[in-house]
Structure formats: structure tokens, C-alpha cells
Amino acid sequence: MSSSDLSFIDLFAGAGGLSEGLTEAGFHGLLANEIIPEYAQTYSKNHPGTKVLTADVKTLDPTQILNELHIEREELDLIAGGPPCQGFSINAPVRTMLDERNHLFKEYLRFVDAFAPKAVLIENVPGLVSFEDGETLHAILNALAELGYGADVRILGAAYYGVPQMRWRTVIIGLRGKNVPALVFPEPVYHAPIRPNFTATFNGQSLVKMPAPETDSNFVTVYEALSDLPPLKNGEQGKPIKDYHSEATCDFQKRARTGSIGVVNHEAPRLADINIKRLQYIKPGGNWTDIPDELLPRGMKFARKSDHTKRYGRVDPKGLASTILTKCDPHWGAYFHYEQERSFTVREAARIQSFPDHFVFTGTQAQQFAQVGNAVPPLLANAVGLAIKSVFSEVV
């Protein structure tokens, strides 16, 4: 099966992190749906060959879309997406009726039923596994089974696949009419200092994919991810397209720069004077505990030194970044640059999420940060896509 034969649609697509990784793995996106216009605009700009529907998924007719795409039922290779799942449980009827998220997951199933793709891919937060004592996850797997899909679930650490941050995602993969082999979930290729801080077992089975003992590659560091980007001062905007600070020094940078015309989305947010004062006391790898008490926010002056260990953090260049959120606000995480007196730019957050530099984010800076933080890391999506491809070549 050639790469050009592999087709997919992406529901709840966001700015397109999942699609970016699947495209790099050799899948061709036919359609994406995203309700937030700014996210959909970014998706369209970076995936011009994909039809993008900016609409509430509940208003879409999957049978009509199937016809418009000129494909037959059971012809599509993959439906991918991150539908909200936490409200979906057959054992909580009152919650099911009232929780809008449940209806959104039903919309995902409605597309699966209409398209009957060869495979389905669902990504979500690790907390899905323990939500409602696992009943929600049981309900999801049962719903897929009723549609004819053998399905299984794993929790993947993004750092194990070359993403330079502490991020975990729950991944559910289903195959039409097939049991899911273990190899459909990608094997970790890097060692990384990450540990699950969530429920990691389901039906008595550990869901976390750990590196094999023979894995000899170390994780990608923050320094390797960011060191070739041009330095900025606090609040500095500069040219829309900037030159790189240096030649690419590692494989991560070489990959990031493939197809790039320069550095975009790289403008430093302006920190308040009080945060600049606080930053002067924080060493690389340090956090709020380095700040003198008189400069701390009122609510943190009485906090235990062992709490909130990422707040007002300056990343360790030799380590991993903390999880990129929808706001790189130093009050909530380690988002101070390791040597420059400022917080991360959108491009630096995107690099830490493993987006390539040719991927351009649109909208306001706040909207761009939200798009980056909500995205699936493309390198993780790429690993999952390649694993699904390997199964297709054997069993589909």
C-alpha cells in the first residue's frame, strides 16, 4: 500500500497538530472539522489541500460529506480526532443527558458509523482512564465494538517520541473487524525522566508504553529544541520573519527547519515589571522558591516550598519543558526562558510541541498560544500514524 493511498479525516481538529503528524507519516487529509474560526484558519493555512469545515459538528451530515468527497463507505482509511469523551458513560444516565461533551463524542461515533473507516484514532487526556472509575473508557470501547471495531488503549509519553516536554496522552485505536495487535501502538524510541502521576492501569493492565531496556537514545532537551532561534528581549517584536541564530546543531532542529523560510510567530510577550524582577532571582531549573518573599504574589507567600514546583519556573536547558498549556503564563508553569530575561514566544512553545517551523499560527498572540497548547504534538502523532501504517500493511 503506497502512502498516497492512505486517507483520513480529522474531527475536532484544532489548529492541526494531529493532522500534521499524520501527514508526515504518509496520510493524506481529505477533510477536517473545527468549530473555532481562528483555529480553522490556522489549519487551512497549513493544510491547503484539505477541505476544512468551520462548523459545529452536530450540524454536519456525514453521509452528505461522504458523497461530496467522492468516496464509498468502508473506503476511508482513518478517522482521527480528539472528541470530548468524559461525559460518555452508559452507567451515568443523568450525567449523559446533561453533559454536552457526551453528545460531542456521539457525533464522532456518528461519523464512524457513516464512513466505516478501516481504523479510528481517538486521543484524550490521561484522566480519561480513571474518570468515573473507568466506566467511561469501558463505554467508549463498547461503543466501538458495537460498530464493529476491535479497540484498545494506551497512554503515551510524548518525550519518549522526541517531544521535549512532560506531556502524556491517552490514545485509543480501533480496527474495523479486527483485533488490535500490540504493535499498533508505537514503541518508545527515547529514554526520558518522566513518571506517570495519574491512574495508569485499566482492567488490571498497565497502559503506559515504557522504553525497552535496549533503547539507547536520550530525550531531546529544551536547549536542543530552542538554541538556534534568535534571541529576544522582553516584549521585543522584531521582523515578522527572522533569521536563525545559528546553523542547526541536532536532528530535532534540522527536522524543525525543513521547508522553513525563517522564524515566524517569534515575538516576546511583554512581562510586567514585577515578573522581570522575580525572574532575576530564578536560576535555570529553578522556580518560585528562588524568589524573595517580598516579591511573591500574596497567595504564594504562605505556600509550602514543596508545592507548585513549576510556577515561575525557568526551564532547565538540559531537561524537559513542563507541559505547554494554552497560556505560557509564568504563574502557572515553567515558561521563563533558560537564559533570556523573558517568557516563551509562540514559536518556542510550538517547537516544544514539535511543530515544524513552516507551520504558521494565525490570530492574536493569545489565540496562537491557545492553538499551540491545545494541540497534539506532531511528533507523537507521527509515531502513532507510522504504527497504524505498519498494521495496515499486515492486516488490513
Query: Could you give the CA distance from residue 139 to residue 159 in angstroms, rounded to a whole number?
Result: 29
Say how many C-beta atoms besides its own lie within 10 A of residue 59's C-beta.
10
> What mean pLDDT is predicted for residues 4-20?
93
* 78 beta partners: 8, 119
> What mean pLDDT is predicted for residues 37-46?
98
Residue 100 confidence (pLDDT): 57
> What mean pLDDT is predicted for residues 35-51?
97
Dump pLDDT digits (tens) for 111-130.
999 999 999 999 999 888 88
> Which of 82, 138, 37, 84 lies closest to 375, judged by CA?
82
Q: φ and ψ at 336, to 5 degrees?
A: -85, 140
Residue 395 confidence (pLDDT): 54
Residue 303 confidence (pLDDT): 83
pLDDT at 93 > cutoff 70 = no
Question: pTM to 2 decimals?
Answer: 0.93
Total residue length of the chain: 396
Is residue 319 classed as helix, strand or coil in its secondary structure?
Answer: coil
Domain ranges across the chain: 3-212+377-395
Active site residues: 85
Structure confidence at residue 102 as a pLDDT band (50, 70, 90)? low
| DSSP state letter for 390 | H
Long-range contacts of 67-74 (CB under 8 A, 24+ apart): 69/30, 69/31, 71/7, 71/30, 73/114, 73/115, 73/116, 74/115, 74/116, 74/117, 74/118, 74/176
pLDDT at 343 > cutoff 50 = yes
Structure confidence at residue 108 as a pLDDT band (50, 70, 90)? very high
| Axis crossing angle, helix 135-146 with helix 100-115, rounded to the nearest 10 | 20
**Do 154 and 185 form a contact (C-beta atoms < 8 A)?**
yes
> What mean pLDDT is predicted for residues 329-343?
94
Structure confidence at residue 99 as a pLDDT band (50, 70, 90)? low
Query: Could you give the CA distance from residue 206 to residue 347 in angstroms, rounded to a whole number?
Result: 35
Residue 96 confidence (pLDDT): 44
pLDDT at 90 > cutoff 80 = no
Query: Could you give the CA distance from residue 47 to residue 41 in angstroms, rounded to a whole number?
Result: 10
Dump pLDDT digits (tens) for 195-204.
988 888 998 8
CATH number of 3-212+377-395: 3.40.50.150
pLDDT at 15 > cutoff 50 = yes
Residue 227 confidence (pLDDT): 98
Structure confidence at residue 300 as a pLDDT band (50, 70, 90)? confident
Structure confidence at residue 349 as a pLDDT band (50, 70, 90)? very high
* 7 beta partners: 28
Greater model confidence, 297 or 216: 297
Query: Could you give the CA distance from residue 197 to residue 207 in angstroms, rounded to a whole number?
Result: 13
Q: φ and ψ at 196, to 5 degrees?
A: -60, 135
Dump pLDDT digits (tens) for 52-87.
999 999 999 999 999 999 999 999 999 999 988 766
Dump pLDDT digits (tens) for 238-271.
999 999 999 999 999 999 999 999 999 999 999 9
* 11 beta partners: 33, 81
